Amino acid sequence: MTTVHEPAVTAPADALSVWPASAAEPRRGELTVGGVPLAEVADRFGTPVYVIDEDEVRERCRTYRHAFPEAEVLYAAKAFLCRAMAHWVAEEGLGLDVCSAGELELAVTTGFPPERIVLHGNAKSPRDLDTALRLGVGRIVIDSPSEIARLAAAVGPDGHQKVMVRVVPGVSAGGHEKIRTGTEDQKFGLSIPDGYAQHAIARILDQPQLELTGLHCHLGSQIAGVKPYVAAVRRMVGLMARLYEQHGLVLPELDLGGGHGIAYRPGEPALDLTALARGVRAELAGACAAAGLTVPRLIIEPGRAIAGPAGIALYHVLAVKRTGAHTYVAVDGGMSDNPRPALYGVRYAPRLVGRHSTADPARVTVVGRHCEAGDIVAADVELPDDIRPGDLLAVPAAGAYHLSMASGYNLVGRPPVVAVDDGLARLLIRRESLEDIRSRDVGL
């Protein structure tokens, strides 16, 4: 018998634009990432499941190092962290930005060099600071005046710790009001106009065990334009110039944070990394020359821009409900594994994988399994009109702020994470089981 092979299908150029570069459609209805069919991942590991393309993560790390060869690039661990991720980032030459003792200890016990780690947080606990000092973290970013005395006391008169100060640059940027952090009247950083930043810096200079290495700012998240970063550089250099005039202080570092936007759906804008590097570099050189300052070493903190496009979430369809003019497609996950649509109104572009449909596209809303009307995975999206229970849906750009923000709602358990690379799939984080949940419940 002669076997007839269906020719490989070339997807439209924009259809996979928000997927990892390795995404391919070898046959109609089949989608592979890292050389692994997504349907096979779902069969082997169950759903919901997160899939992360190791090569995509590594390539994005390299892209940042190439775009900013003179800068220190720190991966923002809050986007997604596990031992494998820490290992990949370290191997690609990036540092790490952590926000808690938990993130810090996981990274260091994996072998991440602590001197390449920066600790953030607007309300660091005693455990956070103690762990940072015990493990020898590279720098601690001071976010409030009360941290100065606490940190100095913890370091001790004979100790030494490098610190930075988080400053509010007064620049509004970000994809949603809840993730804009560069303006006044929010919980992060110290203000320049009211003098809090300058006062905190003066107090740090009075603590010989604390070495102030630079200023830090973070404008927000999902920023797609270069102008906010250029404006932030201008204001931060302005503060550096005043500090030089007042204290003779020359700071060697300037941290612009992260917040680099990605596209979640085809056609959406993403931050142009080349344009960002060019704009920031030019503004920093020009502003420092005008102020008579030595150009500080730049630090940037991408998180979502590295992890987000490398991840995919897989779900099975449990039910399809047509009511009035609306069609709801319910899947076996939802806001417990991705609260971002409910929090920020994020919109995704799910795709049917595992079978080829010839049905016309229909407008549907993909919803989760949880007891909330706001449990929506993807609102008003196109899927084949014959979508049915048992089908497999893949959601791209799901590598950041999914597992890291996952919850225990309805006790369904958090999904596993599977890495794919060069045709192989391997488990990085196992599924949270009912036994895991029971073992934490000690109150009977």
Task: Evaluate whether 173 touches 167 at the Cβ level (below 8 Å).
Answer: no
Residues in the chain: 444
User: Does the annotation place 401 within a ligand binding site?
Assistant: yes
50 is annotated as contributing to ligand binding: no
435 marked among binding-site residues:
no
- Both tokens of 435, joined, read 């036994």
The reply, when asked if residue 196 is annotated as ligand binding, is no
Is 264 annotated as contributing to ligand binding? no
CA 275: distance to chain centroid?
Answer: 21
**CA distances, 254 to each of 19, 204, 433 (Å):** 33, 17, 44
Partners of 52 in the beta sheet?
311, 419
54 a known binding residue? Answer: no
CA distance 79 to 77: 5
Amino acid at 309: P
Residue 315 labeled ligand binder: no
**Active site residue ranges:** 371
Q: What are phi and psi of 99, to 5 degrees?
A: -125, 5
Nearest C-alpha neighbor of 18 from the set 259, 305, 222, 226: 305
**How far does CA 403 lie from the centroid of its chain?**
11
DSSP 394-435: EEES-SSSSGGG---GGG--PPPEEEEETTEEEEEEPPPPHH
Residue partners of 444: CB distance under 8 A and separation at least 6: none
3-state secondary structure 60-123: HHHHHHHHCCCCEEEEECCCCCCHHHHHHHHHCCCEEEECCHHHHHHHHHHCCCHHHEEECCCC
Annotated binding site: 259, 301-304, 340, 344, 372, 401
Annotated binding site for pyridoxal 5'-phosphate: 259, 301-304, 401
